[in-house]
Amino acid sequence: MDDGTGPDTRLAGLLRWPSGGFRLRWGVDAKGRSRWTRGRILAALAVLTTALLAFHSAVPNTVGRFGSLLETFLPWLGLAVPLLLTLALLRRSALALLALLLPVAAWGLLFGGRVTAGDGGAHDLTAVQHNVSDVNADPAGTARALSDAGPDLIALEELTPAALPAYEASLRAQYPYRAVRGTVGLWSKHPLTEAGAVDIRPEGIGKDWNRGLRARARTPWGDVAVYVAHLPSVRVQWHGFSSGRRDESAGLLGAALDAEQLEKVILLGDLNATVDDRGLDPVTSRLDSAGEDNFAFSWPTTLPISRIDHIMTRAARVTQIRPLPSTGSDHLPVAADIRFAP
């Protein structure tokens, strides 16, 4: 029974049932506040969300690298919009609803293209990038899954001495050319020459840490410098984002790319950063990541929330990038179609 003070009565006070149907009452509340004067905190949160989206590069990275942490998950700030929208409707605040147009516009400008990105048209070759995981229980099956996608190039990271023979045996028939340095490898349908290690070791790391290589691929579209890289991992800790070694390694990789003499370049790798993360600037400032205008989340496999696996180019264009079905790794493979500039 409703005694006049229960939730049924309160709900009835919120709602009005006119002849035209159901609608919320947006008049003055019990404290005399109109729909334009209540919900100021919600409106302020909407403005704050907009500021973080539009001016994320202004968030300092000096302490805890919070700027990079924000940029790693920047698209997910959009989730604040439906939450604030729900609260604004419950609060019956026109002010908050109007303020929500700001983060909607900011998110749309930053990421709207990634939602609508589709097939970019004709391409010359396809490349696949995959961190196969050093605890992958089925390397042969993983190799077959990657080759079934029909790429011209396959780059792998976290190769182990125990698993390497299985990858080689499974890929040899379709990819007769390969280069392996340390824990990274490249398999190709096109001849590879000048294969060598690229030193991207942060300071204090031993010489047995080898996670970069470069090879010249002789393709029908000319010689292409193909880089494979696996930058150091990062951790989210109580005191911030531990990305110092990754940033240092990105700087070394950027310097190698800057010194590259060949015009055409393809970089494939687990860079442990999104393209929005300023820590990757030494790389993204030297290569075209226009094909990154697609979310194609690759990590973690169970619930992908970011793409830290990348395929970037110079004197070429990634026309489409997409995740492939899961393998025995905690990363999804990503495939990119590439068109060389005329």
C-beta of residue 67 within 8 angstroms of C-beta of residue 59: yes
Q: In CATH terms, is domain 125-340 a member of 3.40.50.300? A: no
pTM of the model: 0.86
* pLDDT value of position 310: 96
What is the rounded distance in angstroms from the CA atom of residue 325 to the CA atom of residue 149?
10
3-state secondary structure at position 213: strand
* pLDDT value of position 131: 98
Structure tokens, 65: 């690298």
What is the rounded distance in angstroms from the CA atom of residue 117 to the CA atom of residue 112?
9
Amino acid at 103: P
> What percent of the chain is predicted at pLDDT more than 70?
87
Q: What does the domain layout of the chain look like in residue ranges?
A: 7-116, 125-340
Whether the pLDDT of residue 15 is over 50: the answer is no
* pLDDT value of position 4: 53
pLDDT, one tens digit per residue, over 90-117 is 989 999 999 999 999 999 999 988 876 6
Across 205-224, average pLDDT: 96
* pLDDT value of position 11: 47
Across 31-60, average pLDDT: 90
Closest CA to 139 of 113, 161, 121: 161
* pLDDT value of position 20: 46
Q: Which range has the worst mean pLDDT, 30-34, 144-148, 204-208?
A: 30-34
* pLDDT value of position 19: 45
- Contacts of 101-109 spanning 24+ positions with Cβ under 8 A: 102/46, 102/47, 102/49, 102/50, 103/46, 103/49, 103/50, 103/53, 103/77, 103/78, 105/50, 106/49, 106/50, 106/53, 106/54, 107/53, 107/75, 107/77, 107/78, 107/81
* pLDDT value of position 121: 75
Q: Which range has the worst mean pLDDT, 32-36, 37-41, 77-81, 294-298?
A: 32-36
* pLDDT value of position 166: 98
Across 54-69, average pLDDT: 89
Whether the pLDDT of residue 87 is over 70: the answer is yes
> What are the φ and ψ backbone dihedral angles of 335, each rounded to 5 degrees?
-120, 140
What is the pLDDT confidence band of residue 275, given thresholds at 50, 70 and 90?
Answer: very high
For residue 253, give every residue at least 6 positions away whose Cβ sits within 8 Å of its Cβ, in sequence order, or none. Answer: 198, 200, 212, 227, 229, 231, 282, 283
* pLDDT value of position 26: 73
Structure tokens, 116: 């609508």
Across 48-64, average pLDDT: 92
More confident site: 235 or 133: 133
**Average pLDDT of every residue of the chain:** 89
